[in-house]
Chains A and B, each alone.
Chain A
Amino acid sequence: MHFLKDRGFQHRIASEITPQAVYEERRRWIQMAAAGAALAAGAGHLGRAHAQTVTAPGKLAKLPAVRSAVAGANTMEKPTAYEDVTTYNNFYEFGTDKADPARNATKFKTTPWTVAVEGEVKKPKVYDLAELLKLAPMEERIYRMRCVEGWSMVIPWVGYSLAELIKQVEPTGNAKFVEFVTLADPKQMPFVGSRVLEWPYVEGLRMDEAMHPLTLLSFGLYGEVLPNQNGAPVRLTVPWKYGFKSAKSLVKIRFVEKQPTSSWTKAAQQEYGFYSNVNPKVDHPRWSQATERRIGEGLFAKRRPTLMFNGYEPQVGQLYAGMDLAKNF
């Protein structure tokens, strides 16, 4: 190929250039084949499957998925712009400013990657990422995400219910809680070593919360693999809890008898409890949780009322029947 100053690149043999229409057609075929495979994989499981509803932004590798049939898994609300979802992040290993993770995680290495599943299980196992990706059909789920700081997003995730993985390792009767441990690599993560939190970042769920079909093991968003700043290559998404419960870049999943102490509870016990269910009636000590600001709606949009359990009350309300949620915040 030659570069001509006035015309850009010139192909030496014009007949060898693939016409745009041809390669676009080819690309569509590949996409359809991939979607078809996903459909075939998901059809039996779901009974009914739709093609993807969210258009991939074309930034990262595609992660085809079928629309989830889990109740409550697909809000009709408009997803927050990909740009906002991927540039406004709390991922303190990469910095405390919202813009830091996108900036500091560009060289984060997510392959090879393994997740050790251990503790009170009959079949402990170290999974590598490829195995995890194949473990169950990928589903697209459009969840509301509510941050404890008082803002929210709507994110189209790709993954499958954590329960799928839990079933494989067969927890024993002693398993009452699940502890999630995330990567803390000071070489790649500039803020591991800062005193903001105790590293590695640890989170936990009660067994029934972990088994709930809405609890998602996420591998992607917007039809593509997870961007590093959003917790690549694999993270948790628990849509009825404040965002920080959804640990990013998981390396270990432990089944334990006692309630784990999460990093945020360690940092400020009076502000961040174990449950951290989204609850408009229980204030954070320093601000009200009654309303939230939806990211991307602009400066003049009014804050919207926060919904009990982030709007997932019909699905998860019974998990907390009889509990005092002001005490178990």
Chain B
Amino acid sequence: MTTTAPARTGAARTRPWLLHPAVKPLVFIASLLPLAWLVWGAVAGTLGPNPAEALIRSTGDWTLRFLCLTLAITPLRHWFKQPALVRLRRMLGLFTFFYGVLHFLCYAWLDMSLVVGDIVTDIAKRPFILVGTAALLLMAPLAATSFNRAIKAMGGKRWQALHKAIYAVVLLGLLHFFWMRAAKHNFGEWSVYAGIVAVLLGDRLLRARMTTPKLAALATPQGGAQSLGAARRD
């Protein structure tokens, strides 16, 4: 969706600060902070006894976090009636890809010493790495078409259809993380991400059902009262 997308709800009252020209640069800088922290840690030696593992894990964590943030934009702008939030979505999506690439590079370099043959064999042999790689590859065309001219060239509908691949990306990403933790029955962190993703995708499903005519009627108080024949207290 373009940054000029019109507000869907009439009741939207855009907070003026969301439109402030400084918002985007600030989010950009904030998104670079995890990287800055990791680079600092690598240089200063504060990443603990196993810095390679720390780098691979953290970049993976941040990929998943940015993915959640990107997917949170749509529900958040509905819940808080802030359509202007969508201005940040593309940047967050690109940062997801950015951290995903860093995650892959850390694995390829620190675990595989950048030996291409070893990397290919490892990916083919191990489902959890294969799934992670698939998620990253799926993100590539989305990142590549994330500029306005691409949208124009592709046509809004096709562009949107392509970008629905983000749902596959998040599910593959969750599976990648799940498999990594599977043998250790250590699903605490995973459940948090899975829960967040469930809410973010669940909201979309609910909303999609609402927009079908009959259900849309249910969504409005009067319509709901009529079709359900429910006695409303107010």
Residue in B110, B182, B184 whose Cβ sees the most chain A Cβ within 10 Å:
B184
Q: Which of A286, A295, A302 is close to B180, meaning CB atoms less than 8 Å apart?
A: A286
Given the interface pairs A288-B122, A303-B111, the reply to whether A96 lies near B52 with Cβ below 8 Å is no
Residue in B51, B52, B182 whose Cβ sees the most chain A Cβ within 10 Å:
B52
- A287→B186 contact, CB < 8 A: no
- A267→B122 contact, CB < 8 A: no
Q: Which residue of chain B is the closest to A287 with respect to CB atoms?
A: B126
| B50, CB-defined interface residue at 8 Å | yes
- A303→B185 contact, CB < 8 A: no
| B211, CB-defined interface residue at 8 Å | no
Bound CA span A164–B125, Å = 45
Bound CA span A250–B162, Å = 57
Q: Which of A99, A267, A288, A295 is close to B185, meaning CB atoms less than 8 Å apart?
A: A267
Q: Which residue of chain B is the closest to A264 with respect to CB atoms?
A: B183
* Pair count A-B, CB < 8 A: 56
Q: Which residue of chain B is the closest to A293 with respect to CB atoms?
A: B52
| A107, CB-defined interface residue at 8 Å | no
- A302→B184 contact, CB < 8 A: no
Please give, as numbers and ranges, the residues of chain A lying within 8 Å of B55 by CB-CB distance: 299
Interface residues of B in 99-141 (CB under 8 A from A): 110-111, 113, 122, 125-126, 128
Contact string against A for B residues 130-158, beta-carbon threshold 8 Å, 1 for contact and 0 otherwise: 00000000000000000000000000000
Bound CA span A43–B101, Å = 60
Interface of B is mostly: helix
Q: Which residue of chain A is the closest to B185 with respect to CB atoms?
A: A196
How many chain A residues sit at the interface, stated as a range, is: 20 to 34
- A286→B48 contact, CB < 8 A: no
- A286→B52 contact, CB < 8 A: no
Contact string against A for B residues 46-89, beta-carbon threshold 8 Å, 1 for contact and 0 otherwise: 01111111010000000000000000000000000000000000
Q: Which residue of chain A is the closest to B118 with respect to CB atoms?
A: A288
Please give, as numbers and ranges, the residues of chain A lying within 8 Å of B1 by CB-CB distance: none
Bound CA span A78–B126, Å = 34
- A87→B49 contact, CB < 8 A: yes
| A314, CB-defined interface residue at 8 Å | no
| B42, CB-defined interface residue at 8 Å | yes
| Residues on B facing A (Cβ under 8 Å) | 42, 45, 47-53, 55, 110-111, 113, 122, 125-126, 128, 179-180, 182-186, 188
Of the A-B pairs whose beta carbons lie under 8 Å apart in the complex, a sample of 28, sorted by A's number, is A84-B49, A87-B48, A88-B49, A96-B184, A96-B186, A98-B50, A151-B53, A196-B184, A196-B186, A268-B182, A268-B183, A271-B183, A283-B125, A285-B126, A285-B183, A286-B126, A286-B179, A286-B180, A286-B183, A293-B50, A295-B50, A296-B49, A298-B45, A298-B51, A299-B52, A299-B55, A302-B113, A303-B111
